[in-house]
Structures are given as C-alpha cells and as structure tokens.
Chains A and B, each alone.
Chain A
C-alpha cells in the first residue's frame, strides 16, 4: 500500500497530527495541508488516492475543495471529516462534491481507518476497471485491424468459437 497517498486537510494542526498518528501504522504516504488552496496545489502536483478533508475552514470549505479536486483529479476518492453535522452540508457534499463518505468528528479510529481502506479499495477498483477497459479497447482495435487484413481467417475464428465474443487473440 506504500504506493498510495492520502492527503489530510484541516485548519487545526492537532487534528492533522492525530490523524498522522492514526495512519502511521498503515503503509500509506501521508501528505497534509492546512487549507483548501494548499491542498489543491498538492492535488495538482501529486497523485492523490484519497482526500480526507475538514469542511469548515477559512478561505475555502471542504466541499468547495472537493468540487475543485473532482474537476482536476476525478479519481481521487473524497471523504469529508466534519465537526458540523448539519444536513445541508451532508447533502451538498454528496451532490456537489460527490463525496465517498461524510464522516463526523469526533471519529472512531477503527471506522475511519476502515473507511479510508474502503476508499483505497474503491480507488483501486476504479483504477483497475479503467485499466482493463483501456486494455480491452486496445485489443478490440487490434482485432478490428486483424479482421480487415485477414477477413477469411477472422470469419473462421468467429465460427469456431460459436459466438461473437473474443476475449483474447
């Protein structure tokens, strides 16, 4: 898991430090930012798998940050960790920020770890999916080229498999 990087954003340094302690034993890279602008800068320059951000912060709220991150790094899985449990913020986070989860402070360490793991798994799943889809496209193109160059062989091949699906050549 050392390949994965989590970005922690909170205007309260004590929160950042306690979260760093929490994820110390996990094999992940931890990056931190004290506000949205700083965080955005990091997201633009690094591959971030999971963003764990506070919501109410000066300059930019966590939800605003999430919306910007969604635009510039859509694969980054976004989690809110907020001290405010008001329903509007949750709705906004889900609808506008497409948040993966909305977590509340004070958090349960196990839950938070589990959620981050889930987020990473989610990221992996999406990434795998993407990769495989790209792979598939590549192969489909190959096949396409093959069918054009050798139509007879291609026809034969289709008949032999008895179906129109070919997974690999």
Chain B
C-alpha cells in the first residue's frame, strides 16, 4: 500500500513540476489582473502585492468604471469585492462571465452568507478569499489563476502545434498514399504486361496476385476481377498443374531457396518452365512467387539446333572420314584392276600351255613348246604376277577391313538419338573417339593417355563420343603446329572425371565465358560452326554432369568433364 501511495505522490510531484515548468515558459507581466474594490486601502495593498510579484495589475474602485474597462480590454484575472456601492461584485462578475469565459474570476468578501457564496460559485471563480485576507492567501489565489492561465495558453499552443502537425501528417499521408497508388499501378502494369506468367501466394498457398498471361499459359479462364485473391491455389489453377506447383512450393518452404522445373503440364501439353522463389519479409518467407515461361518453342528450336549441329559435326567428320576412306578405296580399286590384268595374263599363259600339251605333235615339238612357254612366261611376267598376287590380295583385304571399320564407327555416330541409355566404360568411349578423329589428330597431336580403372556409367555412349571427338578436334585446331593431348580419367565413388588437356594456344579470358554459347566461334569462316562446345555442354548437362574449362593463353586448355555414375535417369530421357 505504502508503495502505491508513494508512487501516486511521485506522479503528483512530477505533475506539479511539469506545471511549474509550463509556468516558467510564460511571463508574469503578461498576466493582466484587474482588482476592483471600493476600499482604496485594499486596492492599494493588492496592487502593491501583485506588482511586486511581477504581475501587471490595474485597480479600480468603481465597478461601473471597471465594467467599461473590461469591455474595452482583455484581463486574465478579475479580482473583485462582492459588496460594493452602486453595483454588486457578483453582478459585475456576471457581466464579465457573459462576455467571455476566458477571463478568470476571483472574489473577496467579508460576508460569508450561503446565498452569496452559492451565487459566486455558479460563476466558476478561480478562488474566493475572505476578508480580512492574508498576503499568503492572495498569493495562492493569484498563483493558481496564473497557473490556470498558463495551462490554458499551453493547451492552446499545444493544440495549435498538434493541429499543424496533424495537417502536415495528413498531407504526408496523402502524398504517400498517392505515391503508393502510383507504385502499385506501376507494379501491376509491369506484372500484367510481363512476358512471363506470374502467381504469388502466401505460405499457405492462398493466391495473392496473378497476371493475365499466367492464366493463358496454364489454360485457366480469363481473369476478370480480383476474385481469385485469397482462394487456395488448387481452386485457381487447373488440376493438371497443381501437383507440380504444390511440390515446388513445398521445396521452396523447405529449402528457403529458388526451385526450378520444366514440365509439360501446360494446356495442349505445352512445355513450361516454372521458377518458384520465396519472397522474404522480416527474414521470414512472406510469399511464394511462381514465374512461368512457355518454353515449347525454345525446346523445339533447341532440338533443331541440336540436329543442325549434329549434321554440321557430321559434315566436319565426313571431310575427315572421306580422306580416310578414299585412300583404301583408291588402292583397293586399283589393285582389283591389276588383279584382272594378272588373271588375263594367267589365262593366256594357261591356254597357251594347254594348247601345247593337248596338241597331237607335242612330243616331237617338246623343246620348241618348252621354249615358247618360257618366252610367254617371261613376256607375261608370270613370275612377278605370281609373287605379287598374294600381297595384292592381302593389301586389298586390309583396305576393305579399314573401310568397314570406318563405316561401323560412322553408324554408331549416326544413330546417336535412337538408342536408350546404356552402361558404358568411359575409357572405351575415349578410345573410340580417338579412332574416329585419328585422321585429324595424327599429324599434330601426340596423344598421352593416363587412364584409371573406371566403373561403367549409365549414359548415351554415342553422345559422349560426340563430345570427346569435338574436344579432340578442337585441341587439334588449337595446337597449330605440334602439341600434346593428355587424356586423364579418374573415378570417385559417385562420379567419373575426364580431363582433356592440350598444349595449344589457349583461350583468352574474355572468350572463356562465351565458349559454350551456341554459334560462338573464333575459327575462320567455314572451319567451325560454333555449335560444337554448346552441344557438348548440353550433352554433359543432360547426363547430369559438369564441364569446366580452364585455360591459359599460350600454354593450353583443359576441359574437365565430371559424369555421375548414375547420372542419367531413364525418366528424364524418355521424354526427349
């Protein structure tokens, strides 16, 4: 209890000190007091007391005169006697009260009868002092009146301040809300006219925002008003896509990070790329934003580019293969012609021999026949032919074998797309690739193989061969005169790494970021399509792997290819 009392006292003290503080802001000389009493001694005493205290004090012994003064001038406090000749103090006070409520009234009287007191109190005086009064009492009364005056002024001042502050705030609010509205219009404009679809939901999946394009992309009825706001996602989007969106949302909430997926959930099986990302407010996810792109055309284009590049690389390869085939074809054909000539020679030789043997007089002309045969044998070069025929056939067969090998290599290359993923050994694929480009690399590249034992990986072997051959041919181009191509393989628990390093001229830093871009080439026109590395990149990505390039101008380039052992899921490939 005591405690409570103490605190109440404390409050009061604070309050009083506040009042004092307020009063100290106001000048006592500005506090105008009118003292009215018919007794000259009293007005004199009061005038002296009040002036001494610093107030501005006017005195009057005539209520009539005082009334005139009051009508002309504003007083803050009128201290009047009640019993006066000519006019009662109460009546005088009443006229003042009627005039305004600001002037404070105070009475002094020797009379203490109830009726007078009641009438006086109805006029709401600030004080009532009885005669004879002490200086202390007057002081208290005027002090109280001054305090009221100060409080009133302070209140007025604060009110003014408040009003102006309020109006400033109102203006600021108006300005801000205008700006907000403009911003909102702008943002809505941006979202509604964006070339991507967009839906924003809160973390429970209630839709907040949606642009018209997304409704078109997802095959929803046209948005007419904001009626979708607050509805659960499942009620807004078509059922076909809800699973995908829900899964993305779940992942975003779990990972607190962007999630992306390509799917064929659009109307008419259009392909959509959907990115979902969290919007943060005060470090918490406040919304999930889905950005939707229709990538059907892009995918078709990519496929076309892939096909075109395949044709282009086949073309490049064909030039190399042509040489490789034309050589054996040349000598095989020529050898066959020679063989025909050899056979002709044999035929004439044999028929001549037969003629001699079967003729009737062979015994008699034995010597002549023998001589003839020998002559013919020399003329037809039978000895040489006999000796050469076997090596001719041997060489011809080796040529045919070479050609059939090249054709077999080409066939695997050509059927790259029609096969399903297989288990293959990367080292073998590298060897195959080296064989395929042997013609292009054999003159300027010394091949160093540092193969480790590797597990089989699930992959499209032919596509990887395409990547490797491409890198080998590039290396051969990069090494202008002579150089080394080092091929290293290694395996970890989950991945196989292939490092292909050449000692070529290297790639300038400004080109490094672009080399995987489609159609980017530094080769002279006709030599490169600019597609090779772009395709290689997409193939490695398709295998769930990574391809990293490091290069130093003048020293060479290394491509590191990391392929996950179980990288290729059958699921993703069947769609392609």
A interface, CB within 8 angstroms of B:
12, 14-15, 17-19, 21-22, 24-25, 56, 58, 81, 83-86, 104-107, 109, 112
Contacts and interface: CB of A to CB of B under 8 A. Distances in A.
Contacts of A81: 330
Nearest to A54: B327
B70 to A, nearest CB: 120
A81 B391 CA distance: 23
Contacts of A104: 326
Given A22-B334, A106-B333, A84 B398 contact: no
Interface in B374-405: 381, 384, 388, 391-392, 395, 398-399
Interface stretch (B27-35, B89-97, B335-343, B512-520): B335-343
Given A17-B331, A18-B332, A109-B337, 13 more contacts: A14-B327, A14-B395, A19-B334, A22-B334, A24-B381, A56-B323, A58-B442, A84-B323, A84-B326, A105-B329, A106-B334, A107-B334, A109-B333
Contacts of A83: 322-327, 330
A21 B341 CA distance: 10
- Central interface residue in A12, A14, A15, A105, by most chain B CB within 10 Å: A14
B443 interface: yes
A83 B330 CA distance: 9
A14 B330 CA distance: 9
A12 B327 contact: yes
Interface of B: 319, 322-335, 337-338, 341, 381, 384, 388, 391-392, 395, 398-399, 442-443
Contacts of A112: 334
26 contacts: A14-B328, A17-B391, A17-B395, A18-B331, A18-B335, A18-B392, A18-B395, A21-B334, A21-B335, A21-B338, A21-B388, A21-B392, A24-B338, A56-B323, A81-B330, A83-B323, A83-B326, A104-B326, A105-B326, A106-B326, A106-B329, A106-B332, A107-B330, A107-B334, A109-B333, A109-B334
A23 to B, nearest CB: 10
B450 to A, nearest CB: 25
A6 to B, nearest CB: 15
A10 to B, nearest CB: 8
A15 B326 contact: no
A59 to B, nearest CB: 9
Contacts of B329: 105-106
A165 B302 CA distance: 79
Given A12-B331, A14-B395, A18-B331, A86 B319 contact: yes
B322 A14 contact: no
Nearest 8 CB-CB pairings of A with B: A83-B326, A18-B331, A105-B330, A106-B329, A83-B323, A105-B326, A21-B338, A106-B330
A84 B333 contact: no
B333 A85 contact: no
B319 A18 contact: no
B323 A14 contact: no
State the majority secondary structure of interface residues on B.
Answer: helix
A22 B337 contact: yes
Contacts of A84: 319, 322-323, 326
B3 to A, nearest CB: 106
A41 B337 CA distance: 32
Contacts of A106: 326, 329-330, 332-334
A14 B393 CA distance: 11
A84 B330 CA distance: 12
A106 B337 CA distance: 13
A83 to B, nearest CB: 4
B399 A14 contact: yes
Contacts of A22: 334, 337-338
B322 A15 contact: no
A58 B443 contact: yes
A60 to B, nearest CB: 11
A104 B325 CA distance: 12
Nearest to B341: A25
